[in-house]
């Protein structure tokens, strides 16, 4: 089997859309479970929307790694800061691979430690991760994706979407959005949470506005990162 230069793994459709649109020519929003391939600089690449950390997401990643035989597995998306010196919109990378770190740096990222947490981390969880694990940032997927890479080099390339400490950060609301079996979002569960606590509607509006800005920044970074990865020997 011919190896792909890299497999780009995205937890959510929003994190995948730029790559699927720009490099694969797909105009619609991708869905969890969607896969695709593209060529750049004479090399083959693959993309996968794996879903949030879940049993199904792990199966999707394992199958994609087996099917594409990638030299590199690159987990890309958003993360939460665990330390005050990481600002919203900063790009960071965590990898033991020097060539992947260098590519990320050329795309504008800084090397920082990213740890995984099984749920959306609140301020208390972030503080504990920073103190006990030396984490600068947290996501939900890096641990299991790293474990499924086989012989491929791994990097987590992330853009900070929420600072530390976060004001009025209802992690229980965000956790209600996540289906821990399928890795998909649960919009009806979110609606029910809003019915129970209507005061969160204003927070949700601010959160959506903030994420819109962060996503624009992320889209710029992910485009640069893909091009830098394509230049690797």
Res 200: pLDDT: 72
Q: Averaged in consecutive runs of 10 residues, what is the pLDDT profile of the chain (233 residues)?
A: 89 97 96 97 97 95 98 97 97 98 98 95 95 98 97 97 80 76 78 74 76 95 98 95
Res 168: pLDDT: 60
Residue 54 lies in a domain: yes
Res 190: pLDDT: 67
Res 210: pLDDT: 84
**Residue 102 belongs to domain spanning:** 6-230
Res 13: pLDDT: 97
Question: Which class for 167: exposed (0-12), middle (13-18), buried (19 or more C-beta within 10 A)?
Answer: exposed
- Give the number of domains in the chain: 1
Q: Beta strands of the chain (E only): which ranges? A: 6-10, 35-40, 43-49, 72-81, 91-94, 110-111, 114-116, 137-139, 153-162
Res 173: pLDDT: 72
CATH number at residue 209: 3.40.50.1580
Residue 1 lies in a domain: no
């Amino acid at each position: 089997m011919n190896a792909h230069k890299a497999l780009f793994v995205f937890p959510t459709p929003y994190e995948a859309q730029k790559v699927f649109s720009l490099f694969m020519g797909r105009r619609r929003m991708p869905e969890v479970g969607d896969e695709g391939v593209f060529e750049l600089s004479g090399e083959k690449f693959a993309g996968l929307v794996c879903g949030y950390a879940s049993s199904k997401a792990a199966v999707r990643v394992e199958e994609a790694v087996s099917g594409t035989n990638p030299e590199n597995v690159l987990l890309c998306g958003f993360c939460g800061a665990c330390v005050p010196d990481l600002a919203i919109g900063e790009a960071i990378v965590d990898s033991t691979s020097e060539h992947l770190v260098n590519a990320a740096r050329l795309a504008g990222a800084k090397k920082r430690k990213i740890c995984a947490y099984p749920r959306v981390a609140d301020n208390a969880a972030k503080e504990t991760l920073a103190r006990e694990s030396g984490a600068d940032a947290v996501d939900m997927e890096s641990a299991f994706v790293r474990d499924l890479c086989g012989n491929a080099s791994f990097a987590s390339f992330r853009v900070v979407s929420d600072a530390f400490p976060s004001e009025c950060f209802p992690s229980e609301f965000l956790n209600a959005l996540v289906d821990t079996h399928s890795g998909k979002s649960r919009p009806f569960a979110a609606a029910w949470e809003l019915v129970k606590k209507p005061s969160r509607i204003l927070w949700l509006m601010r959160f959506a506005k903030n994420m819109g800005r962060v996503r624009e920044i992320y889209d710029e970074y992910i485009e640069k990162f893909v091009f830098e990865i394509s230049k690797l020997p």
